[in-house]
Amino acid sequence: MGSLRGISVAIFVVQALLASVTLVSAQGSTNGSRWQTLSGKAPSVIAHGGFSGIFADSSFGAYSLALLTSLPDVILWCDVQLTRDGAGICFPDLKLDNNSDVAVVYKDRQKTYLVNGVSTKGWFSIDFTLRELGNVILNQGVYSRTNKFDGNSYPIMTVQETYAQLNPPRFWLNIQHDAFYTQHNLSMRSFVLSVTRNRNVTIDYISSPEVAFLQNIAPSFQRSATNLVFRFLGQNDVEPSTNQTYGSLLKNITFIKTFASGIIVPKSYIWPVDKDLYLLPSTSLVLDAHKEGLEVFASDFYNDVPFSFNYSYDPVAEYLQFIDNGEFSVDGMISDFPITPSAAIDCFAHLGRNASKQVDLLVISSNGASGDYPGCTDMAYSKAIQDGVDVIDCPVQMTMDGTPICLSSINLIDSTTVAQSQFSNLTTTIPQIMPGSGIFSFNLSWSEIKTLTPIISSPQSQYKLFRNPRFKNAGTFLTLSEFLTIASNASSLQGVLISIENAPFLLEQGFAVTNAVLDALSKAGYGNKTDQKVMIQSSSSSVLMKFKSQTNYDLVYKVDEDIGGAQSSTIDDIKSFASAVVISKDSVFPENSAFITSATNVVPRLKAANLSVYVQTFSNEFTSQAWDFFSDPTVEINSFYLGGGINGVITDFPKTSNRYRRNRCLNRRNQIPGYMSPVQPGSLYGLITAPYLPPAEAPNPFLTEADVNEPPLPPVAAKAPSTSPNGTALAPTSPNGQPKVAAAAIMQLLTVFLAISLLF
């Protein structure tokens, strides 16, 4: 059916994907540890409908991308449905309308059937011949995923076509609704037996959630290399042939062994979670099944669906929990994003805490480990140090009594409960700092700020992605001096980064922020300290010039807007007062509608001037990443380091970045496998057909000398009243560059929000 069209699509997609991922022969895990699987071999990666997290499930694009980005022995999963004339197709459900355009092509062919006793309405495969389905194309059936590739006209493929066109290393057929097809005079048994007897097709696994079906075909596979696997559904769901719940069947593993060599279970059967999505102790299921000689395959792995908070939105961490926990390992994992379990198995499993670094990538915290605890608290900094960060950061804010403290924002509303406190009436408007109103750190004394409760930052909360809610108010805030004490006592740290913003405004209000920082560093012993470096960061060149004239600290210039390039004279200016530059992710790989469109030359030009380049901010939530990174923060970090050439990352989840640079796949030089190869900028964007292309966007501006040059800092003024009688801050002369800082930050947030919202 539709074979010529399928082949033409295949050629186009393969060419495009070969350009996007380096296809390298990999040998699987090279570590010497014995796996705790039933066979003692590495677990299998099962690509659920191919790489269905990006392309339409069961499409040629999805299967091709899975082969290019996974372990060399990856298993391609095909959900088998039967057409009216008995042909077997790869399609994720017996209803066709959610993953194809069948409802558009055949508007009047909707039917209602009983499916396992439930009345179900839709377009069913049993109502169409294979020839009729040749007019139907596949599309993305998960609405939270991008639909931008639906214009590629991926055809529905038969089981035989799928195998012939993809030639998979291993092939898995899942038979979900044998009882339903039997009711409609279609024989799934006959189809399965015919396809397994086809010398041109090799079926390695056949699974089903129906006991009767597997018992029926088991005698035909007693001397076959094909493995039969029983699939468990929800524990309270009823298995149709035994009329028992799957939870009840789980208690009789020896019965399953009579007709199957393995089981599939939802991952919650192994590592259950409580109602708040925190992990509970693991069950004994894997060990019990292994004792009976049954392999265990875990399902329901998705990078783009919230999972247990214990994993800090890091999908690699979740996979490792199932294969490298010291007690057991599942025998395989079924995933919509097979690149991630492939990397987990081959690159990260059995690393150990003391694994050596394979690449020189500096890991700098963003307000400590602020992805796990409220930023700039003792707990956030302790977690960052525990997670292997190189440099912990302190964004310095000033209190009313002149104490420098660590706080993520000068506006207390952003990180504390001040708006619900007795100080809520101190709201003021200061256009020189930010649009809108706030309650600012210099409105309260340090003793007053200490009474406030921290609030964890959840920058992706508009997508219902919240951070560690059980500890959302944990920890205490620190003065700069207390922060420096924590840092000096941490032998694993390379240094500290102190960020200073709004200095001209603060000086004009009588707050000597630069002097306060210098004094705290001196008292903490950092004036002549050699074992830990001090980095001073600011988007104000005048601040860095002041430190240059008085210290030998490493000075870091922060570019506070997305840029598409920089003038040579501008780079020379920066080099005159800084040794490193912080830029945004979009300044390296510009995005349009959350797709990378190209790569700039910003990083190579800055590095050519002997400036180190650090990029911010790397977060684990999948909505913070371009589609090109497959909802996997490790893929993103890898692409920025190997592909973008950056020197360091600024991250609110330091553990993910620290683990990345220790993975064993990075020491293979020219033999880096596909799942650890950097993505090619614009490769996915190039697969979007014209009707689905987002509107073109103007390129980011160049950084000019005018953006960088500032007059010297003003002298410290006598303190002025913090507010006027009407609650509006007195307006001093606007310091150079300050309105631009606030406006740029707001525009960045709006750009990200608008880009992602177009795809959700």
Q: Is 702 within a domain?
A: no
Mean pLDDT value across the chain: 91
pLDDT in tens, 9-21: 444 444 444 444 4
Question: Ramachandran region of residue 522, left (φ > 0), alpha (ψ -120 to 50) or beta?
Answer: alpha
What local confidence, expressed as pLDDT, does residue 750 receive? 33
Which one is predicted more confidently, 28 or 180?
180
Q: Per-residue confidence at 741, pLDDT binned at 50, 70, 90?
A: very low
What local confidence, expressed as pLDDT, does residue 738 receive? 36
Q: Are 651 and 657 in contact (CB under 8 A)?
A: yes
Beta strand pairing status for 595-596 and 612-618? unpaired
What local confidence, expressed as pLDDT, does residue 458 receive? 97
Amino acid at 130: L
Judge residue 317's burial from the number of C-beta atoms within 10 Å of its C-beta, 0-12 exposed, 13-18 middle, 19 or more buried: buried
Q: Is 295 within a domain?
A: yes
Residues 578, 582, 588: CA angle, nearest 5 degrees = 130
Which stretches of 478-587 are DSSP H helices?
A: 480-488, 503-508, 513-523, 541-550, 568-577
Residue 541 shares a structural domain with residue 631: yes
Examine the fold and report which residue of 307, 326, 348 is the final residue of a domain before the chain moves on.
348
What local confidence, expressed as pLDDT, does residue 667 receive? 86
Residue 194 shares a structural domain with residue 316: yes
Q: What is the mean pLDDT of residues 229-250?
A: 96
Q: Per-residue confidence at 601, pLDDT binned at 50, 70, 90?
A: very high
Q: For residue 535, give the DSSP letter.
A: E
HSE-up of residue 443 (Cα within 13 Å, Cβ side): 25
Residue 131 shares a structural domain with residue 256: yes
Residues 85, 89, 92: CA angle, nearest 5 degrees = 130
| CA 562/CA 587 separation, integer angstroms | 5
What local confidence, expressed as pLDDT, does residue 33 receive? 54
Examine the fold and report which residue of 348, 370, 386 is the final residue of a domain before the chain moves on.
348
Helix (H) or strand (E) holding 651: strand 648-651
Q: Is 356 within a domain?
A: no
pLDDT in tens, 693-722: 999 999 999 999 999 999 999 999 877 554
pLDDT in tens, 641-653: 999 999 999 999 9
Residue 292 shares a structural domain with residue 368: no
Question: Any idea what the CATH number is for the domain that residue 610 is in?
Answer: 3.20.20.190
Residue closest to 634 by CA, chosen among 603, 655, 612, 615: 655
| CA 524/CA 519 separation, integer angstroms | 9
Q: What is the DSSP string of 422-446?
A: TTGGG-EE-TTT-SSEE-BGGGS-H
Residue 398 shares a structural domain with residue 322: no
Q: Are 333 and 43 in contact (CB under 8 A)?
A: yes
Examine the fold and report which residue of 322, 348, 374 is the final residue of a domain before the chain moves on.
348
Structurally, how many domains does the chain consist of? 2
Q: Is 417 within a domain?
A: no
Q: What is the DSSP string of 31-94?
A: --SPP-SSSSSPPEEEEETTTTTTSPTT-HHHHHHHHHHS-TTPEEEEEEEE-TTS-EEE-S-S
What local confidence, expressed as pLDDT, does residue 720 receive? 55
| CA 284/CA 247 separation, integer angstroms | 14
Q: For residue 365, give the DSSP letter.
A: E
Kindly compute the dihedral angle of the four CA atoms of residues 384, 386, 392, 393, in this order, to the nearest 10 degrees. Answer: 30
Q: Is the pLDDT of residue 753 over 80?
A: no
pLDDT in tens, 437-454: 999 999 999 999 999 999
Which one is predicted more confidently, 530 or 381?
381
pTM: 0.91
Give the contacts of 281 (CB within 8 A, at least 6 positions apart).
none
Amino acid at 512: A
Q: Residue written as tokens 């397994």?
A: 196
Q: Is the pLDDT of residue 742 over 90?
A: no
Residue 339 shares a structural domain with residue 371: no
| CA 227/CA 253 separation, integer angstroms | 17
Which range has the worst mean pLDDT, 3-7, 85-89, 688-692?
3-7
Residue 334 shares a structural domain with residue 379: no
| CA 605/CA 566 separation, integer angstroms | 8
Q: Is 740 within a domain?
A: no
Q: What is the mean pLDDT of residues 292-297?
A: 98
Residue 116 shares a structural domain with residue 162: yes
What local confidence, expressed as pLDDT, does residue 731 receive? 38
Q: For residue 641, give the DSSP letter.
A: I
Q: Residue written as tokens 């977060």?
A: 619
Q: Are 247 and 282 in contact (CB under 8 A)?
A: no
pLDDT in tens, 613-671: 999 999 999 999 999 999 999 999 999 999 999 999 999 999 999 999 999 999 887 78
Q: Per-residue confidence at 133, pLDDT binned at 50, 70, 90?
A: very high
Residue 344 shares a structural domain with residue 480: no
Q: Is the pLDDT of residue 548 over 70?
A: yes
What local confidence, expressed as pLDDT, does residue 89 receive? 98
Instruction: Tell me how far apart the terminal alpha carbons of the chain are, to the nearest angstrom.
Output: 33
Residue 92 shares a structural domain with residue 143: yes
Tokens of 137: 């194309």
β-partners of residue 391 are: 364, 495
What local confidence, expressed as pLDDT, does residue 529 receive? 67
Which one is predicted more confidently, 545 or 8?
545
Residue closest to 344 by CA, chosen among 725, 715, 632: 632
* Strand, helix or coil for residue 318: helix
| CA 331/CA 672 separation, integer angstroms | 24
Amino acid at 92: P
Q: Is the pLDDT of residue 65 over 80?
A: yes
Residue 379 shares a structural domain with residue 248: no
Q: Is 4 within a domain?
A: no
Q: Is 567 within a domain?
A: yes
Residues 9, 10, 13: CA angle, nearest 5 degrees = 85
Amino acid at 685: Y
Q: Are 303 and 311 in contact (CB under 8 A)?
A: no
Q: Residue written as tokens 């057409």?
A: 83
Q: Is the pLDDT of residue 734 over 60?
A: no
Residue 261 shares a structural domain with residue 390: no
What local confidence, expressed as pLDDT, does residue 721 receive? 56
Residue closest to 390 by CA, chosen among 585, 641, 624, 651: 651
Q: Is 556 within a domain?
A: yes
Q: Which residue segment(s) compose the domain that 306 sits in? A: 44-348
Judge residue 113's burial from the number of C-beta atoms within 10 Å of its C-beta, 0-12 exposed, 13-18 middle, 19 or more buried: middle
Q: Per-residue confidence at 592, pLDDT binned at 50, 70, 90?
A: very high
Q: Per-residue confidence at 547, pLDDT binned at 50, 70, 90?
A: very high
